[in-house]
Every structure is written in C-alpha cells, then in structure tokens.
Chain A
Amino acid sequence: MKAKIFASIAVAITGAVLLYAVSDFPRFGDPRSPANAGVEGGSPSASLYYIENTYRDTKVPNLVTAILADYRGYDTMFETVVILTAGMSIFAILRVLRRDDAPGAPASAPDSSDHSIDGDHHRIIVATTCRIAAPLIQIFALYVVAHGHHSPGGGFQGGVMLGASFILLALSGSLRDTLVRFSEQQYLRLAFIGILIYAGFGFLPLWVGRNFLDYGALSGLLMTSGEEMARSHSMLGVEIGVAMTVMSIMFAIFANLSTRGRLHGGL
C-alpha cells in the first residue's frame, strides 16, 4: 500500500513536469519553429541540412535511418539502453530465482497451469501453423533489419519481429520448448552483446582520435572506398546490435510477465 502511494506521487510529479514542458513546445505545424524553418539566422536549419546532405554524407537513401543511427546516434544508443533497462527492471522485479523453480530442472510435478485446450488435437493446428510461420517471420525480420537503409525498417522494427516470432512459438507451443531453443542465459547475453556492439561502433573511432560514434573514421577498418560507405556500413552494424537487444528484451519481458517470473507454465 505504501509503495502504491509513493508510486502515485512519483507518477503525478512526473506527469506535472511533462505537462509543464509541453507549454514550451512550438505549436504544431508552426512554420517558424526551429525544426521546420528553412533558414534561421542566415544558416540553414537542421532539417534542411539533413534533407540536402544526408545522401552525400552517408550514401543512405532512407533519411530516417541515417538520422536515427548516424547523426543522432547518441540518442538511439541510449534508447536501446532504455529498452535494456526496462527488461532488466522486469527481470529484477518478477524473476523468481529459486532452485526448484529453475527452468532446466526436471518437471517432477505436472504443470498445473499448463492446461491444453480440450485435448491436444485442437492445439495441433495452431502449433503447426506457427511452427511453419516462425522461420518465415524471422527471415523477413532479418530483411527488415538489413534493409533499413533503403526502406522503412531497421533495428527496432526487425528486433520486435524477431522477438514476436519467439513469443508466437511460446504461445502456440509451450514456453518450455521455446526456452530450450532460446534460453534465459542466451537472451540475457544477447541483450548485452547488442548494446556492446553499438557502443563498440562508438568507441572504435576514439581509437584513431575521432569523436565517439563518428563512423567515418572506420573506413580503414571496414575497408570501404570512402568515409560515406563506412558510415553506411556502420549503421548496419549498429542496427544489428539494436535488433539483438530488442529481440532479447521482448522475449524476456514476455517470458517473465506470462509466468510471473517462474519461466515455466504460463499461457
């Protein structure tokens, strides 16, 4: 009860601060707001710069991906960290780490919560279709990750699809079978490896004396023809890291929420 009161106070204060900040925003569609203005004080505004120079700078036709993963790389990196933090919070709050509840432990007692629908013959239709669909979903998700430069998509979207494919398997079959293929150890590891890949692409330019996340410096390392292609390729690497984190955290959140942190039984 006390925790609920504290949580309500925290939510109310945060909401009030956010509402207060809204009053400082430019009006919606205001042509003179910094984001929309073509020329501001003699120098072109940020949006105009991106529209005119993104392709020249990075050889990436999709402006959104270029801004997200390159120009605003810091932002995206910490967005990924936010997702990781959310997953870790749910893990910390929900996960029950008792020896007899470990997912690898032999199931001595029949799973009371793992009730099947009216016998197994109804379930086999859904389970079979999902088993056929899951690999196709995953292939498409990889395409979305890798094709984020040229079409809508990227690490977040592809990662969500990858996570959803595992959630689909867990929903249609059983969480236990899915955890055999994608264990807790694996997804926690992948979540952190994803962040490390992103941060690694940030730290490598420091090695040659450039700024953090300045991908252009990697042209020698990636053996590209110029700095533009190095930025393009580094964006792909960064997106892969984002996809790994998002996929793992999606599945971790589902597995913990659906089983109240026990990782067996559940939906």
Chain B
Amino acid sequence: MILTILSVILIVAGLVFFFGAAVGLMRFPDFYSRMHAAGKGDTLSTLLVISGFALYQIRGIHDLSHDWPVLLVVLKLLAIVVFIYLTSPTSTSALADAGWEDGIDPVIEPGRENHLEDDCRRKKTPTAQNPEPL
C-alpha cells in the first residue's frame, strides 16, 4: 500500500515536471532557455516516472525465489533510468553547443550587461536564426 502511494506520488511528480518542460518549450523566448527547459525537465520527469514504475513493480515481489522475473523487470527499469541520466543531459549539452557554434545568440534582458562578447571566441556569422537581442 505504501509502495503504491509512493509510486503514484513519483509518477505524478514526473508528470508535473513533464508539463513544466512542455510549457517551457513552448513559452521560453530563445533557443537556450527552451533547451534548458526541455533537457532538464525531460530528464528529471523521466527519472521520476520510471522510478515510480520500478516501485510499482517491487510491490509484486513476495517470495524472491518465485518472483525473480519481477526483479528482472525492476533492474531493467533502473538500467533505463541510468542510461537516460547519462545520455539526456549529454544530448542537451551537445545541442546547445551546436547552437552556439551555429551563432545563435541568447536573448538578453534589456538593461542587463551583455557579457557575451567577452568570453565569446567564436567566429560570429549573422544568420536568419540570429535575431537582434531584445
């Protein structure tokens, strides 16, 4: 019973973060903040949801000698968690890098100092995806 409640809490929390990631993807102003929302939100929510699934599966283990296939499912789910934890942030990083390389500028709030030119060693090429900062 406790395990069920815990798993439901985890899955619902994961869905909340999924929702946040989707909203951020739609609403954020530029490539990098959208990337940030999608990457972080997706990673955490997938983590939570799949951990919830794993907990839900553990419920079914009463006698390990008989129920070991369930344990196998749990281990597979945990393996998925580990792989997503490794690969999803990496792909986010690679995408953000590619955007930077391609010359996409982040949106800077008006009035804030733009530090980009200081540590920016890339060759800037104006492109269509490179709008004027707000």
List the interface of chain A (C-beta within 8 A of B): 117-119, 122, 125-126, 129-130, 132-133, 136
Question: Are B90 and A118 in contact (CB-based, < 8 A)?
Answer: no
Segment touching A, from B42-50, B94-102, B108-116: B94-102
Contact A129 to B100, CB < 8 A, known contacts A118-B122, A136-B83: no
Question: Are B97 and A129 in contact (CB-based, < 8 A)?
Answer: no
Which A residues are CB-close (under 8 A) to B100?
118
The answer to whether B26 has its CB under 8 Å from any CB of chain A is: no
Question: Are A118 and B121 in contact (CB-based, < 8 A)?
Answer: yes
Which A residues are CB-close (under 8 A) to B90?
125-126, 129-130
Describe B's contact surface by its main secondary structure.
helix
Expressed in whole angstroms, the Cα–Cα distance for A133 and B87 within the complex equals 8
Question: Are A126 and B86 in contact (CB-based, < 8 A)?
Answer: no
Question: Are B101 and A117 in contact (CB-based, < 8 A)?
Answer: yes
Expressed in whole angstroms, the Cα–Cα distance for A119 and B94 within the complex equals 14
Expressed in whole angstroms, the Cα–Cα distance for A132 and B85 within the complex equals 13
Shortest A135–chain B CB gap in Å is 12
The contact of A126 among B83, B94, B122, by CB within 8 Å, is B94
Question: Are A118 and B101 in contact (CB-based, < 8 A)?
Answer: yes
The answer to whether B129 has its CB under 8 Å from any CB of chain A is: no
Which residue, of B83, B87, B90, B122, has the highest number of chain A Cβ atoms within 10 A? Answer: B90
Please name 4 further chain A to chain B contacts, defined as beta carbons within 8 Å, in addition to the given A117-B97, A126-B93, A126-B97, sorted by A numbering. Answer: A118-B121, A119-B121, A122-B93, A133-B86
Q: How many A-B residue pairs have CB under 8 A?
A: 27
Which B residues are CB-close (under 8 A) to A132?
86
Which A residues are CB-close (under 8 A) to B86?
129, 132-133
B100 to A, closest residue via Cβ = A118
Expressed in whole angstroms, the Cα–Cα distance for A125 and B98 within the complex equals 13
Which B residues are CB-close (under 8 A) to A125?
90, 93-94
Expressed in whole angstroms, the Cα–Cα distance for A130 and B94 within the complex equals 11
The contact of B97 among A118, A130, A133, A136, by CB within 8 Å, is A118
B122 to A, closest residue via Cβ = A118
What are the nearest 10 A-B pairs in CB distance? Answer: A129-B90, A126-B94, A125-B93, A122-B97, A117-B97, A117-B101, A129-B86, A126-B90, A125-B90, A118-B122
The contact of A129 among B87, B98, B101, B121, by CB within 8 Å, is B87
A129 to B, closest residue via Cβ = B90
Shortest B97–chain A CB gap in Å is 5
Which B residues are CB-close (under 8 A) to A119?
121
Shortest B69–chain A CB gap in Å is 15
Shortest B98–chain A CB gap in Å is 8
Report B59-103 residues with CB < 8 Å from chain A CB.
83, 86-87, 90, 93-94, 97-98, 100-101
Shortest B118–chain A CB gap in Å is 14
A-B contact pairs, 7 of them (CB 8 A): A117-B101, A118-B97, A118-B100, A118-B122, A126-B93, A133-B86, A136-B83
Shortest A224–chain B CB gap in Å is 28
A132 to B, closest residue via Cβ = B86
Shortest A73–chain B CB gap in Å is 33
Question: Are A133 and B94 in contact (CB-based, < 8 A)?
Answer: no
B82 to A, closest residue via Cβ = A136
Which A residues are CB-close (under 8 A) to B97?
117-118, 122, 126
Shortest A162–chain B CB gap in Å is 18
The contact of A133 among B83, B121, B122, by CB within 8 Å, is B83
Shortest A130–chain B CB gap in Å is 8
Which A residues are CB-close (under 8 A) to B83?
133, 136
B96 to A, closest residue via Cβ = A122
